[in-house]
Amino acid sequence: MKNNLISLKEDPIKLFAKWFKEAKNKEINDPNAMNLSTVSENNKPSSRIVLLKSYSDQGFIFYTNTLSKKGKSLSKNKFVALNFYWKTLKKQIRIEGKTLKVNNKTADEYFYSRPIESQIGAWASIQSNKLKNRLELENRFKNYEIKFKYKKVIRPTHWSGYIVVPNLIEFWQEMPHRLHDRVEFKKVKLMWKARNLFP
């Protein structure tokens, strides 16, 4: 059992890359799915599944409508928590950190890498607002399809990306007898400090 334990000497970003690669090879659906938890200005938590689109030593990037419920929460409280859980691997990773908006160039690059229908969908959906019925959404989509039929779709100013700059990354893996292996990496003065946690 000891041979499989997480080393305190690991670089957490490199370890994330290793586990994420495993997940992409073994998870059936959306290995990049992660739970994003935000806290509103009145201190109410909210969570939802979003997709990780890229990551680096700087942080973890996802994209969304900035006027959505999560976007409004992030405008008031930039601190979030992420959670990846890969059932087939029996592993999870928790990440805590602060969000920053990505620059326009980065947002544009990802926006224009999406299928044209998804680009139009970013205009059609007034995310998190009340929808009368499905027809209302479909009509909005059709209207924007017509609008952009003969010209390039412009990225909406309210659609962008956020990078979660981590200050804490915890790795968890299932072990026999529920004696799970947990290692927490915490950023202290720009350096990662690791410690084991009781399961």
pLDDT in tens, 19-34: 999 999 999 899 999 9
Give residue 4's pLDDT band: very low, low, confident or very high (50, 70, 90).
confident
Q: What are the tokens at 79? A: 């601190």
- Residue among 154, 144, 166, 143 at smallest CA distance from 57: 166
Q: What are the tokens at 27? A: 């998870």
Mean pLDDT of all residues in the chain?
Answer: 96
Mean pLDDT of the region 173-185: 96
CB atoms within 10 A of CB 99: 24
**Is the model's pLDDT at 198 over the cut of 70?**
yes
Place of tokens 């405008």: 75
Place of tokens 């229908």: 117
pLDDT in tens, 63-100: 999 999 999 999 999 999 999 999 999 999 999 999 99
Contact 120, 159 (CB under 8 A): no
Contact 12, 184 (CB under 8 A): no
Residues acting as catalytic residues: 178
Contact 27, 86 (CB under 8 A): yes
User: Which residues are bridge partners to 48 per DSSP?
Assistant: 36
- Residue among 76, 161, 73 at smallest CA distance from 110: 161
Give pLDDT, residue 1: 46
**How far is residue 33's CA from residue 11's CA, in Å, rounded to a whole number?**
22
Contacts of 199 (CB under 8 A, 6+ apart): 175, 178, 179, 180, 181, 182
DSSP for residue 168: E
Mean pLDDT of the region 127-148: 96
